[in-house]
Copies of this chain bind each other. A is one copy, B any other.
Amino acid sequence: MKRMKKKVTIHDIARMANVSAATVSRVLSNSDYPVSQSLREKILKIAAETNYVPNLLGKQLKKNTSTTIGVVVPSIVNPFYSSVILGIEQTARQRKYTVITCNSMHDPELESEYIRMLMEKQVKGLIIASIANDGGMFKQLADMGIHVIAIDQRVDAEGISKIDFDFVKGGQMATRHLIDKGHRRIAYLTARMDRPSRRSIFRGYQEAMKEAGLEPILVEANADDDHNPLSDFDTGRALARKLLAAKVQATAVFTCNDMLAIGVINELSSRNIRVPEEISVMGFDGIDVGQMIHPPLTTIKQPDYEMGKMACTMLLNMMNNENNHQFEIILQPKLIERQSVVSRGGHSETSGR
């Protein structure tokens, strides 16, 4: 067994420099408490020579602070969330914070378990893409002085700051684009609508269809678990089959997320139905994969990386100033036009007939 060199502490350095631990602490933590130049240099020198690494546990215990923030998302394998996390992580790093990532896999119990672990670790900030969590949890977090920001999944708890995305407007925007392109029979294909976001997109779709005097066509999946990106892909394929079987003669489909759209395109192509010539496909998310397939996916961009960056920035501000204003930021959708949607029939603006 290898002998491990005893870790050097602030007291070791104090002893070597013939000073008190207090003085060492003042030097090493850049306190503005005055320490004579000679001592300061001596201590710094010894610290460097001994490879001193401060023990944050001690520091944080005393000061009741923490430089780690918790992040809970459904699954990191979902490219949308991995972008969000990258955004969070990179801005956290710049401020010397560290990120603990947790994958709830859409399991409320797991989510609670993680939150408890994070509380025990004394995190003071939490960013959460929560699923169906009752407000109770958030109350307790607030009581413990933990700042939390909810992202993406609209959570109905009161008194909690959020960064949302305007799903309704996104749904409208997508649908209107298809309508502008001359489509009349537009289907909305969606995974199970057990999530507020999906219901919101659907609402946007409905509103846009209604205002154009068109009949909504809904094709919904029965089951759904997207902890695995492939499952969305597969439900996309299934939904495409369902659509075809329904014989609704849609000339365009709009899906609740890109992965689903990609599945749809895949299924359609493999049945020799040409996209977009025979059926146009509009996605929702704007993940990178969308531009790697053929045809490149027209979609609604939900700013993922930026959302992470913003959430982290806001969180750190909340934690450091006592700026406890509750807020809600609503990010706006953006249409990314690529090649999976094509014009149909008459002019763009004026509908035929």
Contact = CB atoms under 8 A, between A and B. Distances in A.
A95 to B, nearest CB: 12
B53 A4 contact: no
Interface in A113-159: 113-114, 116-122, 140, 142-145
A55 B62 CA distance: 12
A260 to B, nearest CB: 11
Given A4-B145, A121-B98, A294 B292 contact: no
Contacts of A76: 76, 82, 85-86, 89
A99 B51 CA distance: 25
A269 B117 CA distance: 49
A52 to B, nearest CB: 11
A122 B55 contact: yes
30 contacts: A2-B142, A4-B144, A7-B145, A53-B116, A53-B120, A54-B120, A55-B61, A57-B57, A57-B60, A57-B61, A58-B61, A61-B61, A75-B86, A76-B82, A77-B79, A77-B82, A79-B79, A79-B82, A82-B82, A86-B103, A89-B101, A89-B103, A93-B110, A93-B114, A99-B101, A101-B101, A233-B292, A262-B292, A266-B294, A292-B293
Interface of A: 1-2, 4-5, 7, 51, 53-58, 60-61, 68, 75-77, 79, 82-83, 85-86, 89-90, 93, 96, 98-103, 110, 113-114, 116-122, 140, 142-145, 229-230, 233, 262-263, 266, 269, 288-289, 291-294, 322, 324
Nearest to A110: B93
A104 B289 CA distance: 23
B122 A96 contact: no
A352 B229 CA distance: 43
A288 B75 CA distance: 15
B324 A2 contact: yes
Contacts of A118: 98
Contacts of A229: 288
Contacts of A113: 93
A85 B57 CA distance: 25
A2 B101 CA distance: 28
Nearest to A123: B98
B103 A100 contact: no
Contacts of A293: 292-294
Contact of A5 (B1, B119, B143): B143
A96 B117 contact: yes
Nearest to A101: B101
A324 B77 contact: no
A324 to B, nearest CB: 6
Given A57-B61, A61-B57, A82-B82, A98 B96 contact: no
Contacts of A288: 229-230, 233
A239 to B, nearest CB: 15
A143 B116 CA distance: 32
